[in-house]
Amino acid sequence: MTSPAAVLIDLYDTLVESDWHEWHHGMAERLGVDARALRQAFDTTRPARSIGAYADEEADMRVVIEATGIEDPPGDLVRDLTIMEHAFMQNRVRLHDDALPVVRELRARGVATALVSNCSHNTTSVVDRLRLDDEFDAVILSFRVGARKPQKQIYLAALEALGDVAPADTVFVDDQVPFCDGAAAVGIDTRLILRSESPPPLEGWATEFNGHRVITDLRDLVGSD
C-alpha cells in the first residue's frame, strides 16, 4: 500500500501516555488492598466495562472495587474513588509529542482518520479535554459501540464511520499484538507501535510480533521528514 485511504489509531499507550501504575498504587492504598489484587480486579472487569455493560463511571468503579473482595462498598467510597479517577484522567493523561502532528498531517494529505479505543466511561473526559473529536474524522470508543478489540465489529464500525473505507485501503496502529491480530483478520494492514521511551503499558510489552510491522514513533506513518 503506497498511501492508505484511512488510518485507525489506538488511544492508550499509542496516542497518549500516563502513569497508570502510580494511579493503581494510589487507589490500592485508598482501598487498603494489595496493588496486585487491584490490577487483577481491573483486568477481570475490563471486558465488561469496555463494552458499556455498566451505566456510568460510578457503576464501573463499583464493580472494580467489588472485584477486589470488598462486598457492597459504601456509596461515598465509590464516589470518592470515581472523583480521584476523574482527576487522574484529567491531569495525568497526556499526548505523545508525535500524536497530533501526525494525525493532522494525515488529514492534510486527504487520509481519513479514526481513533479506536478499548475503554470505559472514564475516557469521555479525556477525549473531551484533548478535543479529539475535532482532531479525528471519527472517534470509536468500545463502550459506546458495544464491541472491543479484537472483535471485528469495532474495526468495521470505524470503517463505516469513515464512509465505508475498504479494509485493504486502511492501516491500523496499536501497541498490543492481539488487537493488531483482530484488525488483520478483517483485512486491515497493521503497525505495532513499541515506544522505547515509554514505561510498559498495563498489558505489558509484546514479546512476539505475529508478523505485524513494528514502528517506534507515529511519525513513521508519514515519513521522517
Q: Has residue 1 been placed in a domain?
A: no
Query: Which residues lie closer than 8 Å to 190 by C-beta, 6 or more apart?
Result: 171, 172, 173, 174, 180, 183, 184, 212, 213
DSSP state string for 97-130: TTHHHHHHHHHHTT-EEEEEE---TTHHHHHHHT
> For 117, phi and psi rounded to 5 degrees?
-130, 135
B/e letters for 52-67, b = 16+ CB within 10 Å, e = fewer, are bebeebbebbbbbbeb
The label of the residue with cell 503497525 reads 191
Q: Are residues 45 and 111 in the same domain?
A: no
Neighbouring C-beta atoms of residue 122, cutoff 10 Å: 20
Residue-wise pLDDT for 59-105, tens only, equals 999 999 999 999 999 999 999 999 999 999 999 999 999 999 999 99
Mean pLDDT within 176-202? 85
Residue-wise pLDDT for 100-136, tens only, equals 999 999 999 999 999 999 999 999 999 999 999 999 9
Domain around 57: 20-91
Residue-wise pLDDT for 31-55, tens only, equals 999 999 999 999 999 999 999 999 9
Q: Are residues 99 and 62 in the same domain?
A: no
Q: Are residues 169 and 102 in the same domain?
A: yes
Task: Please state, in angstroms and rounded to a whole number, the distance separating the CA atoms of residues 186 and 220.
Answer: 23
Q: Has residue 190 been placed in a domain?
A: yes
Percent of the chain surpassing pLDDT 70: 93
Q: Are residues 13 and 24 in the same domain?
A: no
Q: Are residues 61 and 13 in the same domain?
A: no
Q: Are residues 73 and 151 in the same domain?
A: no
